[in-house]
Structure 1
Amino acid sequence: MDLGVDIGTGSVRSFGDGFSAVRAITTTRHTSRVITQSSLEIFDAIQAVLPPTPVSGVCFAATCSMVVREKLVVDGRPVLAPFNCGTGASPGHQDIILWMDSRSHDQCATMNKQLEGSFMKQTIGEFIPELGLPKLKWLSDNSEKELYCFELYDWFSYVFQVGYYDKSQNLVEFALRDVDFTHGTAIDGSIKGWSREQLSFIGGNVKVGRSETVGPLDHVPSQLLPLGAPIGRAHPDLLADCHIFNGCIDCYGGWALTACPRQISMVAGTSTCFMFHTKAPAPLIPAVWGPFELVSQTAVYSFGQPATGKLFEDLFDEFSVGRDSFARMETITQEWELEHHQSIIELVRHYVYYGDKYGNRSPLSDFRMDECFIDGKNASVLGVSVFSQDEAAMVIRYHLIVEFLCFQTAQMLEPLPVDTIVVSGSQVNNTRLLRLLRHVTGKSVVILGGDHSLAVARGARGLCGSAGGESSHEAAAPLVAPPLSPQEASVMAAKFHVYKDLVAVQIKARRLL
């Protein structure tokens, strides 16, 4: 069977014909900005989710995290050893800089002042710390070792081709060929796809690995391969008689399931990524990343929010309740609506939240943005402050997060020629969010069929051998939920204006102060 493997922030999932599996993985938060994972732990998780039957092809999709390896010579042979990306004596082999890591804050600010041209045009004019290039610069500024960095999905495409030299020491064979990119652009400002000349500002000790360079030189392309293109065969000790196909950042795995004209793919999990496509060549669009050519003659645009499901997780953690507390939020909401004879939208109309707690990726590309509240205690019939630590405050803040996510999505979609939002990922289970999303954006909302937690793995599986051909279209059902009442619609229209004011006042405050 062909197998898709999705390496998420908290788990590894696989999907094949009649088969699926999941294994949890851990994240280490050293400081508020330094966040890492272990590639060895993830490798073991991948091994645990492989099927017992033979695998003929595998394709990896993963978060836009970065594996960092140091080139060493052991017993006369070159190997790639884990580079400690944590602080001090980090636990385990913490050789992954997680996508939400923002240690490169200073490098990012410097790059935004000094760089221009192709780097900036396709990333809305600014880098943000979560992107790969500022992290490469951080590594160069903080280490003189010879480092090779890989996109997370590409690292495992590489490992499964070459195998381990010494797994007990987490040492992997060094089998990279030195082939430069001569044209093309990296996707989402990530690390793979830039030429050596374009990366000259990084420093010569930090290089970018490419899984497709393991084979003969005359087979190595000088530009990014299309999604699903064959890149090699698996090492027999890992997967016998198995082809490795070119993978992708996880959000593009979800996009591959639903790619249709005038539709936008919304992969909504811990973070949310949006993708839509049109025929190439295509123009730059303000506040949108791209266009990128992932498949032949197709221009793909992307943008997103760094923390969406993460905002709910943080809220539930702050109030020391389980992360599965959504049902409790709905129960209390229904009790309030019955008690006050008003909908929750009307009950919380005097409260407003702007939730860029982890900075803004889109549409501003401004990591200085932050969260802010308008506390409606004195004007609301509820009489509850959002800054109190009781359950009522948690419920209000839950609904404010829902509103914020819808407002920001509407703001991002305003310049785009799309009619339909195809939603996948864990947040498809939040009907309240999707109902509000449909109203605030004015777009049709449809839900991708199947197990939503496996959407990316299914997309990766569909890419096996496609070489950028037709996408694996999945059944999608329209959202079934009642429309907003006129009173609710009036409140949401007014709050959208206030939301935009909160964006403007943050920018103004930084300019004046």
Structure 2
Amino acid sequence: MSFVADWFVGIDIGTNSIRVAILNDRNVLVGTSEHEIAVLHHPTDSSVVTQDTAQVWSQLERCITDSLEQARTVEHGNVKSFCCGATCSLVVESKDGSNVILWMDHRGEPDTINSKMKQNHPKMLQRLGGSIIAEMALPKIKEYLKSDSTPLKIYDLHDWIECMLSGDTLEVPNYNTDNIGIDGSLKGFPLETLSEFDINLKEHQIGRAESVPYPGIPFAGTPIAKLAPSLAERWNAPNAVVCSGVIDCYSSFFALQNKQIDPEKNLVMVAGTSTCYLGVSKTPKDAPPGIWGPFHLTQDHWFYEGGLSCSGILFESLFENHPAAKNLDKSKNLFQQIEDLVDSFVQREELSSAWQLVSKRVYIGDYLGNRTPFNDSSLSSLIIGSSLRPDDRDLACSYLSIIEYLALSTKMIVDCFCKSGFELKSLQVCGSQAKNSRLMSLLALILETIDVYVPIGLDSKLIGAQGSSMLGGSSPKDVELQLVSPDSDENLKELLLEKQKIMFELLEKQQEINRRLSPYTSRSHE
């Protein structure tokens, strides 16, 4: 009789694509798939950014079907579970249809919620970084309710996926009763608290698959329902369960476990379109300023999160919008072509380091606001020392400035944790930016006493899906890590640390400017 493996289906709903990974009970990857999903920008209101729920669901079905077909060519298996990580977006169902309000949607004004929360729930606000920002669920929902006061349901995105997958619910004996929305998402806030912010929803309007007294939240990875019968038949998964999912950055965290790394002295940097920084503690303690948490995500750990709203998207924008980028060969690796450009200018100008090209440039890429340390969605981008000549040299300098911004912003976030008593010894970086050796060596230089590691043998696109699979029950396996060697230029370190101070001062100055201009401006004038 042939061996039959247990399979665990992990789902990762990203900003631009859906990935599925199937791990077996030996933690071997047996099936994968990826399909793109579109980001829809409103034609007249740039703050409104959505996705089509029909497309999201159909592409997820394709991914799961393709992954299972691939797995069945590798071995015999029984599907045990489905678990989902998804962007911190919302799904709104109304009588006119449904759509995703994407995480980067900034339609909501958080000022009123902030003032009421500061007055009535200061401890709750502290756990949300000290300020509600436009990316969080509450401002979006409040704005949406102005146009539709009777939505059928509003879901956090991974909850909507779970509902679409689920059949009969299961008993959930242990769950989080912390009464706060994780990362400022919808689910988890008491209804009376939402009502204080003029978000008047009834319990049945908050979509979720699990049968748990509201506002309780199942711990990540908890089985909450059987797979819907029609899907169980289609995918030949009669005994599969649906597990409680997470916001996508957390699923990546679970894929990076290594027994040699102390989780309480480690920060995980999940670097994709945006970048999240995750730390944990075994007992709850006050979060550092500008950091969200603690959130009781698993029974064993409380989680803390900082972030950059714009990171990978800055490179995407550079490739799409810089005038000199049209000279790049889109059929070849764009990053390598720009790296070659950088090297050519270093040689031509006889420089000792590429960073001399941008020694007097200061760039802040907070186009969607600053999450950490300021947690202020009114902050924006800034550049000092830019060029009027949009040529190849400026393209190379703009690329280096993005890397410098990401490294210095990471240093600021690490400092937030360290100054608040987190004894960080290591930083694990995953996602597309972990492949950028220039960025990694710069991080290793300026973080000084903190070791920087990147995973080996893991596809950067599949880390989130594999983490979801592990949450769903696949056996954990130590990820192999590579220690990053720092850039050896000590003078560069001093320059960068000075630039970090300048960046912080400029962000503070921008806040002061916004306060001074606020009496004369309104959203209608922006």
TM tier, smaller: 0.7 to 0.9
2:496 to 492, 495, 503: 492
Residue 29 of structure 1 pairs with residue 32 of structure 2: no
Q: Structure 1 CA distance, aligned partners of 2:8 and 2:463?
A: 15
Q: What letter corresponds to residue 33 of structure 2 in structure 1?
A: A
2:343 to 322, 334, 344: 334
Which residue number in structure 1 is paired with residue 434 of structure 2?
428
Q: Structure 1 CA distance, aligned partners of 2:178 and 2:454?
A: 37
Q: What letter corresponds to residue 29 of structure 1 in structure 2?
A: H
Change (3 A) 1:287 1:458: same
1:190 to 185, 191, 199: 185
Q: Structure 1 CA distance, aligned partners of 2:398 and 2:503?
A: 15
Q: What letter corresponds to residue 495 of structure 2 in structure 1?
A: V
Give CA-to-partner distance per residue, 1:423-443, whole Å, 9 cap, x none: 111111111111111112222
Helix, strand or coil at the partner of 1:264: strand
Helix, strand or coil at the partner of 2:50: strand
1:458 to 432, 451, 466: 466
Q: Which range is displaced more, 331-340 or 242-251?
A: 331-340
Larger helix proportion, structure 1 or 2? 2
Q: Structure 1 CA distance, aligned partners of 2:191 and 2:515?
A: 36
Once the two structures are TM-superposed, the CA of residue 145 in structure 1 deviates from its matched residue by 2.5
Change (3 A) 1:486 1:284: closer
Q: Structure 2 CA distance, aligned partners of 1:374 and 1:490?
A: 19
Q: Which range is displaced more, 7-16 or 435-444?
A: 435-444
Which residue number in structure 2 is paired with residue 204 of structure 1?
200
Helix, strand or coil at the partner of 2:210: helix
Give CA-to-partner distance per residue, 1:55-111, whole Å, 9 cap, x none: 3211011100101012x6xxxxxxxx723xxxxxxxxxxx00000000013xx1221
Which residue number in structure 2 is paired with residue 356 of structure 1?
366
8 Å Cα contact 1:181/1:195 also seen in 2:
no
Q: Structure 1 CA distance, aligned partners of 2:149 and 2:179?
A: 29
Which residue number in structure 2 is paired with residue 268 of structure 1?
271
Helix, strand or coil at the partner of 2:297: strand
Residue 127 of structure 1 pairs with residue 132 of structure 2: yes
Helix, strand or coil at the partner of 2:79: coil
Q: Structure 2 CA distance, aligned partners of 1:269 and 1:203?
A: 31
Give CA-to-partner distance per residue, 1:246-288, whole Å, 9 cap, x none: 1100000011123522011110000001111011132232221
Residue 282 of structure 1 pairs with residue 291 of structure 2: no
Q: What letter corresponds to residue 435 of structure 1 in structure 2?
A: S
Which residue number in structure 2 is paired with residue 46 of structure 1?
60
Give CA-to-partner distance per residue, 1:24-51, whole Å, 9 cap, x none: 1111111311111011111111111121
Q: Which range is displaced more, 143-152 or 181-190?
A: 181-190
Residue 225 of structure 1 pairs with residue 225 of structure 2: no
**Which 5+ residue runs of structure 1 have no aligned equivalent?**
73-80, 84-94, 164-179, 214-218, 376-384
Q: Structure 2 CA distance, aligned partners of 1:182 and 1:431?
A: 42
Q: What letter corresponds to residue 354 of structure 1 in structure 2?
A: I
| Aligned alpha-carbon RMSD (Å) | 2.3
Q: Structure 1 CA distance, aligned partners of 2:406 and 2:108?
A: 26
Residue 158 of structure 1 pairs with residue 163 of structure 2: yes
1:510 to 484, 508, 514: 514
8 Å Cα contact 2:8/2:473 also seen in 1:
no
Helix, strand or coil at the partner of 1:41: helix
Q: Structure 2 CA distance, aligned partners of 1:388 and 1:370?
A: 23
Give CA-to-partner distance per residue, 1:425-480, whole Å, 9 cap, x none: 111111111111111222211012311110100100000148xxx9654222212x
8 Å Cα contact 1:65/1:96 also seen in 2:
yes
Change (3 A) 1:182 1:421: closer
Change (3 A) 1:340 1:349: same
Q: Structure 2 CA distance, aligned partners of 1:284 and 1:433?
A: 27
Q: What letter corresponds to residue 9 of structure 1 in structure 2?
A: T
Change (3 A) 1:394 1:59: same
Once the two structures are TM-superposed, the CA of residue 162 in structure 1 deviates from its matched residue by 4.5
Once the two structures are TM-superposed, the CA of residue 191 in structure 1 deviates from its matched residue by 0.7
TM-score where L is the length of structure 1: 0.84
1:270-349 equivalences under 5 Å are: 270-319=273-322, 320-321=325-326, 322=330, 324-342=333-351, 343-349=353-359
Change (3 A) 1:205 1:488: closer
Q: Structure 2 CA distance, aligned partners of 1:303 and 1:494?
A: 22
Once the two structures are TM-superposed, the CA of residue 406 in structure 1 deviates from its matched residue by 0.9
1:441 to 447, 462, 468: 447
Q: What letter corresponds to residue 386 of structure 1 in structure 2?
A: S
Change (3 A) 1:40 1:264: same
Helix, strand or coil at the partner of 1:270: coil
Which residue number in structure 1 is paired with residue 75 of structure 2?
none
1:251 to 249, 252, 258: 249
Q: What letter corresponds to residue 133 of structure 1 in structure 2?
A: L
Give CA-to-partner distance per residue, 1:199-228, whole Å, 9 cap, x none: 113443563211113xxxxx6576211110
Q: What letter corresponds to residue 252 of structure 2 in structure 1?
A: G
Q: Structure 2 CA distance, aligned partners of 1:392 and 1:270?
A: 25
Helix, strand or coil at the partner of 1:310: helix
Which residue number in structure 1 is paired with residue 387 of structure 2?
386
Residue 13 of structure 1 pairs with residue 19 of structure 2: yes
Paired residues, number: 458
Aligned residues with identical type, % of pairs: 29
Which residue number in structure 2 is paired with residue 235 of structure 1?
228
Q: Structure 2 CA distance, aligned partners of 1:68 and 1:387?
A: 44
8 Å Cα contact 2:345/2:393 also seen in 1:
no
